[in-house]
Amino acid sequence: MEKLITAYTYIGEGKVVVNKQLIFYQEKIATFAEFIKALYKQEQISYPKFYKMDSLSKLGFMCAELLLRHEKPGRFKPGSLAVVLANSSSSLETDLTYQDSIKNRSAYFPSPSVFVYTLANIVIGEICIRHSLKGENAFLVSEKFNPRQLLDHVSDLLDNNRAGACICGWVEILGNTFKAMVALVEKENDGTLKTSFGSMPFTEASLNELMNLTEKSIWKN
Amino acid sequence: MKTVYTVSENIISSLGFTARENAVSLSGGATGIKLHNDPKLYAQPVPLSLVDTARLEQNFEAILGKYKKDNKPGFYTRLEKMLILSVADALAGTPVRPENEKVLLLLSTTKGNIDLLEDRFTAKFDHKRIYLWAVANILKDFFGFINMPLIISNACISGVMALIVASRLIRSGKYQTAVVAGGDIATEFVISGFQSFQALSPEPCKPFDLHRTGLSLGEGCGTIVLSSTGPEGANSGILLMGGSVSNDANHISGPSRTGEELSMAIDAAIGESGSLNRDIDYISAHGTATPYNDEMESKAISLSKLNDVPVNSYKGYWGHTLGASGLMESAALITCMKSNRLIKSAGFETPGVSERINVITETIQKPLDTCLKIASGFGGCNAALVFQKT
């Protein structure tokens, strides 16, 4: 059974590309916080919990939001849309913030609302809450983007009907260096899947291509 | 579809350095959780289950000799030493060759070398060692695995999830053998974090008990070798038959109010195994002894109609070991299946969850053919795994 990438979000080098369309661009990025806030405002998203999230969750949340916002409600049955994400530095960005809060015994302020984000998979939890996703989920860590690991795991989910579709990709942030690529992968059962950017098979090559979008410049119309 | 055999297992905890040693301690019923007064770990005394440092150093020295590795003093971190010992013990006596291209190493950890963020370590270790993949690379290089390790960091279900992911890769024929290792250490980072949640119990934790007062933290490692090739000899016929993962989609730090999502994972895992819910002989629960976790688990067990199945939590023995827990507890479950023994749930006296469940109060012999391991964690994640005798 063929599996296709039917939508994707790319965030990197100040650019946000959704399904081949450049939707947002900041030439000079001061901080991630400013970048993501500007994107959130431009896209007129209204989700107050967003402001409580750590950077990794904000990055993953925005990717999923831009990926799923035009989907018809009910297109995915409850439990049928899986989430598989990966990155290199896990939750290190927030680990450093948390460690700072306990460095000094005379100014010791460990906060549960920071501590909870010192787990890489919380970003998946946030996406699942937002979109009511109750199915399979996994967070993988690899030094560099490893399309083979994502492909193997996601293919198993779809091939064995553990999921009907899957959101998968890479969400990496450390300091003000960040990059994300999240794709929606679906099974092609009867030739009815349509995309605005042509047919893209779910392969290592496609994942690599999407990860290097700005180099390939395929977002330019 | 290939069959997935469990080939060997190791547990390193406060109770011992091998699965057998831990099994003996568990049968004896003594807890490894003790009040520790170590200012490097926490400003106040706190109950913890810690791995014996002197023995860790001694055993590690011996393994360096066995593997003919140079002793580079100060090179390996505490977690890396524990993981190397755990993997070495699990590989000993098996025909598994890490340099084989059909062998995959999986690492389950939530925080890796998180202690390296402390001032006392920052100057001693390369800053890259803080990355989870750096820990996996240390294992890869030590044993000579040629494939890129697969790392799972999915809160407290990491260990169970790593076993599920490994079993799927074997079943589909992508790999023949998986060496699945998990480890996490007790650090100020983790202790202060759970303390900030007011989740830590002032005494050894009491899973499922009416008077439970929160969780106890621990450290440790577990390794399970899985293979599509049946093991030779005595260590035998226990198969990993199915597994499933779900999400509550409810709250990032509180479990589901209904237990419905864990129950979904339980039913899917049992379904995949080809068994029926009534075939389950024993459940190794997550049982953290926080009010909400144990309550949610009881609801899930009840929704899956497993109310009469004997259930225990190992957290009362070696605390919550985070990314290691799923592997240590699954390894303990395997040793219980081999010896047909149900271990009493330490700390449990009076039922303290709303659904009727059958918590084990006495260590007894009972035939165990089909068993269930469950886990839940922050981020709303749940996982279930079914083991069965051939």
The tens digit of pLDDT for each residue in B57-100 reads 999 999 999 999 988 889 999 999 999 999 999 999 999 999 99
Domain endpoint, select from B180, B202, B227: B227
Q: How confident is the model at residue A34 (pLDDT cuts 50, 70, 90)?
A: very high
User: Could you say which residues from 176 to 195 on chain A have a Cβ atom under 8 Å away from some Cβ of chain B?
Assistant: none
Q: How confident is the model at residue A45 (pLDDT cuts 50, 70, 90)?
A: very high
Same-domain check for residues B316 and B198: no
pLDDT for residue B82: 98
Residue B233 lies in a domain: no
Residue A86 lies in a domain: yes
- Which among B360, B318, B359 has a CA at the least distance from the CA of B341? B360
- Which among B284, B255, B257 has a CA at the least distance from the CA of B269? B284
Same-domain check for residues B16 and B143: yes
CB contact under 8 A, A110 and B193: yes
Residue B232 lies in a domain: no
When comparing pLDDT for B72 and A54, which is higher?
Answer: A54
- Residue A114: pLDDT above 90? yes
With beta carbons less than 8 A apart as the criterion, state whether B15 and B32 touch. yes
pLDDT tens, position by position, B236-257: 599 999 999 999 999 999 999 9
Same-domain check for residues B222 and B253: no
Lowest mean pLDDT of A43-47, A217-221, B386-390, name the range: A217-221
User: In chain B, pLDDT over 90 holds for what percent of residues?
Assistant: 95
Domain endpoint, select from B227, B262, B296: B227
ipTM value greater than 0.85: yes
* A170 touching B (Cβ < 8 Å): no
User: Could you say which residues from 128 to 167 on chain A have a Cβ atom under 8 Å away from some Cβ of chain B?
Assistant: 128-129, 131-143, 146, 149, 152-153, 156, 159-160, 162
Count how many domains chain B has.
2
Nearest CA in chain B to A108: B192
Q: How far apart are the first and last CA of chain A?
A: 31
Q: What is the CATH number of the domain that holds B351?
A: 3.40.47.10
User: Could you say which residues from 9 to 68 on chain B have a Cβ atom under 8 Å away from some Cβ of chain A?
Assistant: 43
Which of A79, A110, A159 has the CB atom closest to B192's CB atom?
A110
Domain hosting residue A36, numbered range: 2-216
Residue numbers in B near A156 (CB within 8 A): 168-169, 172
Domain hosting residue B174, numbered range: 5-227
With beta carbons less than 8 A apart as the criterion, state whether B84 and B139 touch. yes
CB contact under 8 A, B379 and A110: no
- Residue A220: pLDDT above 50? no
Mind telling me how many Å the CA of A176 is from chain B's nearest CA? Answer: 18
Q: How confident is the model at residue A1 (pLDDT cuts 50, 70, 90)?
A: confident
Count how many domains chain A has.
1
The stretch A104-109 carries a mean pLDDT of: 92
Same-domain check for residues B245 and B216: no
> Which of A121, A166, A174 to substitute to test the interface with B, most B CBs within 10 Å?
A121
Residue numbers in A near B152 (CB within 8 A): 138-141
Residue B316 lies in a domain: yes
The stretch B175-202 carries a mean pLDDT of: 97
Which of B130, B148, B150 has the CB atom closest to A92's CB atom?
B130
Strand (E) positions, chain B?
5-12, 34-36, 46-49, 103-108, 150-152, 177-184, 217-218, 220-227, 238-247, 282-284, 310-312, 341-342, 358-359, 364-365, 370-377, 381-389
Euclidean distance between CA atoms A84 and A31, whole angstroms: 27
Inter-chain Cβ pairs, chain A and chain B, closer than 8 A: 149
Residue A221 lies in a domain: no
pLDDT for residue B238: 96
Residue B107 lies in a domain: yes
Domain endpoint, select from B174, B207, B227: B227
pLDDT for residue B156: 98
Rounded mean pLDDT of chain B? 96
The stretch A132-142 carries a mean pLDDT of: 97
Mind telling me how many Å the CA of B364 is from chain A's nearest CA? Answer: 36
Residue B217 lies in a domain: yes
Residue B31 lies in a domain: yes
Residue numbers in A near B42 (CB within 8 A): none
- Sheet with B34-36, edge to edge strand ranges: B34-36, B46-49, B217-218
> Which of A94, A126, A134 to substitute to test the interface with B, most B CBs within 10 Å?
A134
Q: What is the CATH number of the domain that holds A208?
A: 3.40.47.10
